[in-house]
Chain A
């Protein structure tokens, strides 16, 4: 775990924690750092004063990976408007019947450790955010592989009811039964996606735009980092995608916002960079991380 600090105009990178197991999820609130490893979520209170001498981890919840699942064990972590910590537990493989706690989004109370299911049938979501007005949870989801170039689409979903089931492994993209697990099931049993984002585009980080730097029409739009397809003959994605919603949260329009990473859709590799996450800064600019190059870009609004 790193902290980037500025001292006298000089930027310094400090290694705050070591020896963590796949610490993909990071959240920070009121002086406390929360870290999601593959098997547990921990908290470090008063971390800002202890960057050189971090306190011992206090466990919020443990035993999140009892089977040492072979895939999708990285956890995204975010604090919800209810003050609870939300995280994903992915399906343990491409297309498998998940256990009662896999293929889900869960939440845990940061001090009491009470664990609840928020969404089920979610193959793997490593990006979510809450609508600034409706406070509903929106999340991106990666669809299964091995059904060809165009099936199924990756998804953008919204949770309207706690514990809703989004279809995996039975139904994909809201209308396609799984050839194996979909037998004797119907897609109408499950909540369909709000938007299909394209087959194999790998949507990762997503955030609602809450800043004031971009024009008013960007307010409460969703920015999604589509890391890009590889499991497809003609590559697609490799952009930051913009989704516009109306007042009720219905999708009006969806289009690429930041492009140019994909150079040749038939080449290997087809790209020079891969957007992985987005974040709105206090000044209203948008940060975009590129995990292929290890770079964070800043997108600001201006006139030529």
Chain B
């Protein structure tokens, strides 16, 4: 934990950062992919984001992370930060980063769901089919992301993007799912999901 096992500066910094989050499982320093150092600057130590607009990566399905990196690199999904970062990643590096972040323990959510929204949000998640693809506990699988405990502002941005048809969508399912949602529904749904463990 002291960072003395870190082989490079980046790994040592990461290990030091992790030490402030005792709840995190800290992997052996040499398990941390070199390029993960750049990810955790925004996505947080161990992929647990503390920035409202930046998604958490911890415990996301590996295939989901790889695929998003791939979509950023190929220009299907576009983002001012992510596009340049993904542009020089190899497939092997993407898989390595994905495997690493998928292994990390998710931190307890800092977001507190408003009273009443837990039940209302659950109803919306069932009514609008979220649970059919993201799983009953919203933990994601394969290429489908985990929503439980995701950042509140990020969830809203994505849902609004899908609703507006501006967010890249591989098969149109998310656009179909988001279009019947009202702005108020998005608020309640994101509030529910962001507070989930």
Contacts and interface: CB of A to CB of B under 8 A. Distances in A.
The answer to whether A binds B is yes
Size range of the chain A interface in the assembly = 20 to 34
Q: Choose among B133, B165, B171 the residue with the greatest number of A CB atoms under 10 Å from its CB.
A: B171
A191 interface: no
Would you call the interface of chain A mostly helix, strand, loop, or mixed?
Answer: loop
B111 to A, nearest CB: 25
Would you call the interface of chain B mostly helix, strand, loop, or mixed?
Answer: mixed
A93 B141 contact: no
Q: Choose among A70, A71, A94 the residue with the greatest number of B CB atoms under 10 Å from its CB.
A: A70
Interface in B4-53: none
Nearest to A69: B172
Contact of A230 (B144, B170, B176, B177): B144
Interface string A79-115: 0000000000011111110000000000000000000
Contact of A92 (B61, B144, B162, B172): B172
B81 interface: no
A138 B142 CA distance: 30
Interface residues of B, number: 21
B91 A294 contact: yes
B132 A71 contact: no
Contacts of B169: 70-71
Interface string A152-182: 0000000000000000000000000000000
Contact of B175 (A71, A146, A148): A71
Given A71-B171, A93-B172, A230-B144, 6 more contacts: A71-B172, A71-B176, A124-B171, A145-B173, A268-B61, A269-B141
Interface of A: 22, 68-72, 90-96, 124, 145-146, 148, 230-231, 268-269, 294
